[in-house]
Chains A and B, each alone.
Chain A
Amino acid sequence: MREAATRRALRQERVMLVLLTLCALVSVATTLAIVVALTVEAVGFFRVVPIWRFLTEREWTPLFAVKKFGILPLVCGTMLTAGIAMLLAVPLALLIATYLAEYASRQMRQRLKPIVELLAGIPSVLYGYFALLFVTPLLQKFIPSLPTFNALSPGIILGFMVLPTIASLSEDAIYAVPQSIREASLALGATKLQTTLHAVLPAASSGITAACLLGFARAIGETMLVTIAAGMMPNLTLNPLEPVQTMTAYIVQVALGDVPHGSLEYRTIFTVGLTLFVLTLVFNLTGLLLRERLLRTLRQM
Chain B
Amino acid sequence: MTTGTKTEMVTAVMAKRRREKLLEGLFLAAAWLALALVIALLVTILTDLIADGWSRLSWKFLTSFPSRRPEEAGIFSAWVGTVYVMALTALIALPVGIGAAIYLEEFASRNWFARLVELNISNLAGVPAIIYGLLGLQVFVRWCRMGESVLAGACTLALMSLPVIIVASREALRAVPNSIREAALALGATKWQTVRDHVLPLALPGILTGTILALSRAIGEAAPLVTIGALTFVAFLPKSPFDPFTVLPIQAYNWVSRPQPEFHQNAAAALLVLLALLSLMNGTATYLRNRYQQRWQI
A contact set with B: CB distance below 8 Å: 9-10, 12-13, 16-17, 19-28, 30-31, 33-34, 37-38, 40-41, 91-92, 95-96, 98-99, 103, 112, 115-116, 118-119, 121-130, 132-134, 160, 163, 191-194, 214, 217-218, 220-224, 227-228, 248, 251-252, 255-256, 261, 269-270, 273, 276-277, 280-281, 284-285, 287-288
Contacts and interface: CB of A to CB of B under 8 A. Distances in A.
A34 B135 contact: yes
Given A123-B221, A127-B45, A270-B134, 14 more contacts: A21-B103, A23-B99, A26-B159, A27-B163, A27-B166, A99-B31, A123-B222, A125-B253, A125-B271, A129-B271, A228-B257, A273-B131, A280-B131, A288-B123
Nearest to A164: B38
Nearest to A88: B37
A98 B24 CA distance: 12
A41 B163 contact: no
A172 B95 CA distance: 30
Given A9-B190, A37-B134, A248 B223 contact: yes
B131 A276 contact: yes
5 contacts: A91-B34, A125-B271, A217-B126, A228-B256, A248-B128
Nearest to B25: A193
Contact of A12 (B42, B99, B192): B192
A191 B131 contact: no
B44 interface: yes
Nearest to A104: B31
A88 to B, nearest CB: 10
Contacts of B32: 99
Interface in B235-278: 249, 252-253, 256-257, 264, 267-268, 271, 274-275, 278
Contacts, number: 249
A223 B221 CA distance: 9
Contacts of B120: 27-28, 31
Contacts of B257: 228
B38 A160 contact: yes
B181 interface: no
Interface residues of B, number: 85
Given A31-B124, A123-B220, A222-B128, A192 B163 contact: no
A193 B220 CA distance: 40
B128 A121 contact: no
Most chain A C-beta atoms within 10 Å of own C-beta, residue among B37, B44, B222 = B222
Nearest to A196: B27
Given A124-B220, A134-B48, A273 B249 contact: no
A163 B135 CA distance: 28
A95 B137 contact: no
Interface string B9-31: 00000000000100110011011
